[in-house]
Amino acid sequence: MASGASYVERLIGVRPSRVVVWSCVALSLYLFFFAPPNPELNPRLLAIGPLLFSIYVLAEYPGPGDGVGKQAAALGGLKYVEKADKHAKKPKAALAPPPLGEGGALLSGHAYLIVFFNTRRATLKAAVRADAIARRVRAAGASDWFHAVLISRDDVDELEAAAQHWPNRAVPIAQDATQAVSASYITAHRAWAQPHAFLVGRDGRIVWHGQINRKALTNECARMLRTAEAAAKASGGGSGKAEGKSSKAKTVKAD
């Protein structure tokens, strides 16, 4: 079972969303082929409803298993839309992009929360959760090695407008103008629903990916903190700032 599986998923051995999909497909087949004819309401027309709903669930609730454990792709070619706010009462510097290697390669020993989103109101509202998660994880002792970034293929003007309406953000926004990064994550791992989060571990491999509002994401962040804390204790380092604090690493919540 893939990392980040829910309790129900571990219990029944299959994702609940897949059960819904299979049930809808079965109902659609029954209505189309086996349901008795009805002069007032054609069962074959009714069969379209469950079929469309199954497609919606399959697209909106992709499983976190596809791509988990694989090496995460580089974040090269991104254009960051951050600007300094010189006119604010307390002038703010532009948010710095996450630390990356040559060609946008993810750095060894660093973890990344990579969130793909668009500027539709509902999607943007959900993407805000990335900021809450990043703040909580970094405050729990991962400020030196945990980084987050929001990536979109929308126009720069739309992204700049979104950034202005989100002034207290701690996560930088970047445009994937060439769509190369999106292809390496969204297309490669069939992650069509947005906002979609990829959590990359300190070894450069994808730990989890899925809808950002899933509790499994914060569970995996907490697991990452506990692993870092255990490694620090084993090596004799034990610095709370560098590797995490046990009192905060147990749970990572995002309001």
Q: Are 250 and 230 in contact (CB under 8 A)?
A: no
Q: 23 and 94 share a domain? A: no
Rounded distance between C-alpha atoms, residue 78 and residue 173, angstroms:
10
Share of the chain above pLDDT 90, in %: 45
Domain assignment present for residue 172? The answer is: yes
Question: What is the rounded average pLDDT for all residues in the chain?
Answer: 82
What digits encode the pLDDT tens for the residues 6-27?
554 555 455 667 788 889 999 9
What digits encode the pLDDT tens for the residues 150-196?
999 999 999 988 888 787 888 999 999 999 999 999 988 877 778 89
Q: 205 and 150 share a domain? A: yes
Domain assignment present for residue 254? The answer is: no
What digits encode the pLDDT tens for the residues 48-63?
999 998 887 776 665 5
Domain assignment present for residue 227? The answer is: yes
Domain assignment present for residue 99? The answer is: yes
Q: 132 and 51 share a domain? A: no
Q: Give the highest mean pLDDT range of 17-21, 63-67, 211-215.
A: 211-215
- What are the strands, taking DSSP E only, across the chain? 79-80, 111-116, 146-152, 173-175, 196-200, 206-211
Rounded distance between C-alpha atoms, residue 248 and residue 255, angstroms:
16
Domain assignment present for residue 150? The answer is: yes
Q: 55 and 89 share a domain? A: no
Whether residue 250 has pLDDT greater than 70: no
Domain assignment present for residue 69? The answer is: no
Q: 47 and 92 share a domain? A: no
- Which pLDDT band holds residue 85 (cuts at 50, 70, 90)? low
Q: 221 and 182 share a domain? A: yes
Q: 111 and 33 share a domain? A: no
Domain that holds residue 16: 7-60
**pLDDT confidence of residue 48:** 94
- Which pLDDT band holds residue 77 (cuts at 50, 70, 90)? very high
Q: Say what the pTM is.
A: 0.74
Domain assignment present for residue 157? The answer is: yes
User: Which whole number is the average pLDDT over 73-97?
Assistant: 77
Q: 225 and 108 share a domain? A: yes
Q: 177 and 233 share a domain? A: yes
Q: 48 and 116 share a domain? A: no
Of 27-41, 197-211, 233-247, the least confident: 233-247
Q: 45 and 156 share a domain? A: no
Domain assignment present for residue 74? The answer is: no
- Number of domain units in the chain: 2
Q: 101 and 46 share a domain? A: no
**pLDDT confidence of residue 146:** 96
Whether residue 232 has pLDDT greater than 70: yes
CATH of the domain at 105: 3.40.30.10
